[in-house]
Structure 1
């Protein structure tokens, strides 16, 4: 009986520690919390002029100046694009998390689209952006994509409101 109790306690402890979030990820989640402005989108690791559709939603120019809000207590958020002749304005809602770094990788922001009632509308498809830097005032996220078989890094620069 003692062996079974020990085994149960050991398994419960393993399960709890495997589901917990590290202090680093919690700290990053806390830094994300609040309102941000996406000030600039640029491209690295390649030359030329780029125009891209970001998050299968809108052209890159539509995202510049967009407002982003991250709520850390329920892992939901939204970004708002201003209406223009080039851009379909409005709110886009998402569920987000910070993914722990893997070997030789930085932490990542992971999100997928949801509706106003927090139901998945993306069929499980989501996005991951590398967290290049984050502080109480500024954040830089990066995503690696391929253009005509060549690597390009999209850089997203935010400031905290």
Structure 2
């Protein structure tokens, strides 16, 4: 019996498992993020003035103030809920989410839109937000965008429900 073949097969399988697994840091962030959150504030860094922005190609930023977000860790699904308003279409939006460990850079929360049956409805398009801070009670996410060729950071401040 050739001992090298089983050893090599185990080595390859182990490498595949490690390369496909979620990092320890990302797993810890996922556990903290799991649950219900309220988006309390959307602000802008990098440029002063009044902004009218559409977030996640969905609704105006003011529609997101007070929105409720839910993240389920065991199957990476969740949702956010917007209230009806004069320029806001209320209701649930379903998402599939994950945490991306960028090795030395800020981890990112990423999500894309899905339907009630967990099927992708965004054509593979998704969103990534830097996790600026994360505790059991508070979460601050940031995304960099360009306005008139100048960088601006959108800041999302959440509190755990």
Matches within 5 A, 1:6-155: 6-103=7-104, 105-155=105-155
Provide structure 2 residue ranges, at least 5 long, that are not aligned to the other structure: none
Give the RMSD, CA atoms, in angstroms: 0.8
What secondary structure sits across from 1:117 in the alignment?
coil
Could you tell me how far apart the structure 2 residues matched to 1:58 and 1:75 are?
Answer: 23
The aligned length equals 160
How high is the TM-score relative to the length of structure 2? 0.97
Provide structure 1 residue ranges, at least 5 long, that are not aligned to the other structure: none
Could you tell me how far apart the structure 1 residues matched to 2:73 and 2:156 are?
Answer: 20
How high is the TM-score relative to the length of structure 1? 0.97
Tell me the alpha carbon deviations over residues 79-116 of structure 1, each in whole angstroms, 9 at most, x when there is no partner: 0000011100000000000001245x200001000001
Cα deviation for residue 125 of structure 1 reads 0.3
Q: Which stretches of structure 1, 4 residues or more, deviate above 4 A after TM superposition?
A: none
Tell me the alpha carbon deviations over residues 12-55 of structure 1, each in whole angstroms, 9 at most, x when there is no partner: 11111111112211110001111000000000011211110000
